Structure 1
Amino acid sequence: MASEVTYNVLSFDDLDGWAADDHAAAFTTFLNTCKDMKDPDWESVCAFAKSGPDPRDFFELLFRPVLIEDGQDAMFTGYFEPELDGSLTPTDRYKYPVYKMPLEARQNRPWLPRRDILESGVMNNRDLVIAYVDDPVELFFLQIQGSGRIRLPEGRAIRVGYRGSNGHNYRSIGQELVRRGVYEAHQVSAEVIKNWVRRNPLDGQELLYYNPSYVFFREVSEVPADKGPLGAMNRSITRMRSIAVDPKYIPLGAPVWIEKAGKVPLHRLMIAQDTGSAIKGSQRADVFFGTGDEAGREAGTLRDPGRLMVLLPIQRAYALLPESAI
């Protein structure tokens, strides 16, 4: 039985670290997507944002923090934009294809699971390859991240973004390694999983097949190299200011105050500009750490508790409360 969703409108004084944050940085990230928010409540605040208000005053005057709880514990993880080595043509080194989405995968839900896509030959000779990369494990994690860059031998790079999936539910191979007793939960990270798969190529391939979900890509090289990858709102996301959320609870484009606990606490105003297949629940968020290997190492170790509050336009915030609470 699903837990009841509760709403609690807070004040900005309730947000730990609010006064010390860089509100201007969050405001700039907010402006990147507010023009795409079409609800009247959001259109009015975005219209005011264009007038150039003081960022902190803007958020405090027009919004209220709302704590939305659905009975699940809060969880923060991280994601990043990986960089892979690849080629536009297959070679002995570059032989693992990054696929476009076939028509059947859009029409049939769910479509074939991961194993069948890669072993049945259904993708062959159909002009569905964007590029070939040199590492099937990195390709698997590219699918988890949903976007990335592929460095070509001549020095340039192409960017790929999420196009769609085969419709199967995501299954965590990290959790499967824990279930098998290979690792304890606290030991698992993306790098640990990658190294285990490489040390155990046959069992490793079977472990990758444990996740039946398969992601297809599209080329998005029109995005400038100095900008982040495209998020779910089809706009570039920003390192350490953009998060992925569950849009069932948090509107895409909304400011979100996070209070991440753990070894390195993070209290910061972020903007909900992305989604993810594993991001489910009102207190679930994925923090975007940027591009490249270092960002990947930082993101891969993040799995911390805390809480998050979505900033909603004042009328919308109070409309969520039961009449007895107003």
Structure 2
Amino acid sequence: MPAPPAPPSGVAKSRWVPAAWSELPGFEDDALHEAWNAWLRSCERPPPAFAPLCGDVRRLSIASDAEQRAWMVERLQPYRIEAQDGSGEGLLTGYFEPYLEASRQPGAGFNVPLYRPPADLGVRKPWYTRQQIDTLPEVQAQLAGRAIAWVRDPVQALVLHIQGSGRLRVREADGSTRMVRLAYAGTNDHPYKSVGRWLLDQGLVRDATWPGISAWTQANPHRVQEMLWANPRYVFFREEPLDALDAGFGPRGAQGVPLTPGRSIAVDRASIPYGTPVWLASSGPTVQLSRLVLAQDTGSAIVGAVRADYFTGWGEQAGEIAGRLKQGLRLWALWPK
């Protein structure tokens, strides 16, 4: 049997150990056609190693799962992803695209602004903190006229900041409504501080998942602002249209392609290159997963070899899953032979 191909360079944070297909949990059972949309999206901006395979990927988009599986076995080599110390166990979390009601004009309960980047964002580093943005008149003056829309709930606005993008059902000035996407456009360059961690450190909660945080905020509205200011990081957005073609996919990830619910993950780029098909296995109290996913995004908290953030989609149900997802993980990268 020929030796497996060498793993890619530039993955200094991980060890790639050649593995047999039989090692991948559930490989014979996954509905691979569900992952093919994510792979087709990766082929819009394929990494060099995968570009020669994209013709076959497109051709096989209407093939059966069995045909897709046979092609993968023929053309790809699995590698078990491990940390440098040899550990193959890691952490899976989730993220999603929030859905919020919004208005182009403040008032009638819509009092929380979502801003475009300020003109001097690239000049002053770091920019003002979240608390300073909310309280200093001179900062408010710099942001005048830069609100894309206003939403009702400051906690939901924080969720939007943390997730980095979202969908708005916006009420326009003429009374009509339309759907738009807010995409990440920059930050104030302050570090992200978890409000869940702050609540735990204060002894205020035992459940620091988003459902637990939401329950605490409803019981303690007088302390919500204090909680929000515990995270100095602030995100600015840009507005994008959300047409029928885009509506079935999430925002563009770091690879530059739209994310596919349930089939896109964020990874540490120093462990797994963007555009790599990955076999993901995770069992826990929130979800049971054994499936093909594509490494198409990253995030500031996604650090380490066996670490992934699982894109659950958009809306309330996706947020419920993402908010609770924190469980063990194993990963196999699938690399061209």
More deviation, 300-309/129-138: 300-309
Say yes or no: does 1:235 pair with 2:257: yes
Percent of residue pairs identical = 36
Say yes or no: does 1:176 pair with 2:198: yes
**Residue number in structure 1 paired with 2:291:** 268
**Residue number in structure 1 paired with 2:43:** 34
**Residue number in structure 2 paired with 1:210:** 230
**Residue number in structure 1 paired with 2:72:** 59
218, 222, 240: which is aligned to 1:220?
240
**Residue number in structure 2 paired with 1:49:** 57
**Residue number in structure 2 paired with 1:293:** 316
Unaligned runs of 5+ in 2: 1-11
136, 151, 156: which is aligned to 1:120?
136
SS of residue matched to 1:18: coil
CA distance in 1, matches of 2:42, 2:336: 16
Structure 2 counterpart of 1:167, one-letter code? D
Q: Any conservation in 1 of the 2:168–2:180 contact (CA below 8 Å)?
A: yes
TM-score where L is the length of structure 2? 0.85
SS of residue matched to 2:40: helix
Structure 1 counterpart of 2:226, one-letter code? E
Q: CA deviation at 1:195?
A: 2.7
157, 160, 167: which is aligned to 1:142?
160
**Residue number in structure 1 paired with 2:6:** none
CA distance in 1, matches of 2:262, 2:231: 28
Q: 1:25 to 1:130 in 2, by over 3 A?
A: same
**Residue number in structure 2 paired with 1:89:** 105
CA distance in 2, matches of 1:229, 1:296: 13
CA distance in 1, matches of 2:70, 2:123: 48
Unaligned runs of 5+ in 1: 315-326
Give the number of equivalent residue pairs: 309
Q: Any conservation in 2 of the 1:227–1:236 contact (CA below 8 Å)?
A: no
Q: Any conservation in 1 of the 2:47–2:275 contact (CA below 8 Å)?
A: no
**Residue number in structure 1 paired with 2:189:** 167
Structure 1 counterpart of 2:224, one-letter code? G
Q: Any conservation in 1 of the 2:307–2:329 contact (CA below 8 Å)?
A: no
Please give the root-mean-square deviation of Cα atoms over the aligned residues, in Å.
2.1
Q: Any conservation in 2 of the 1:289–1:295 contact (CA below 8 Å)?
A: yes
Q: Any conservation in 1 of the 2:267–2:307 contact (CA below 8 Å)?
A: yes
More deviation, 12-21/234-243: 234-243
Q: CA deviation at 1:223?
A: 4.5
Say yes or no: does 1:254 pair with 2:281: no
Q: 1:63 to 1:193 in 2, by over 3 A?
A: same
Say yes or no: does 1:244 pair with 2:242: no
More deviation, 264-273/128-137: 264-273
Say yes or no: does 1:156 pair with 2:178: yes
Moved over 6 A (4+): none
Q: 1:293 to 1:44 in 2, by over 3 A?
A: same
Q: CA deviation at 1:31?
A: 0.9
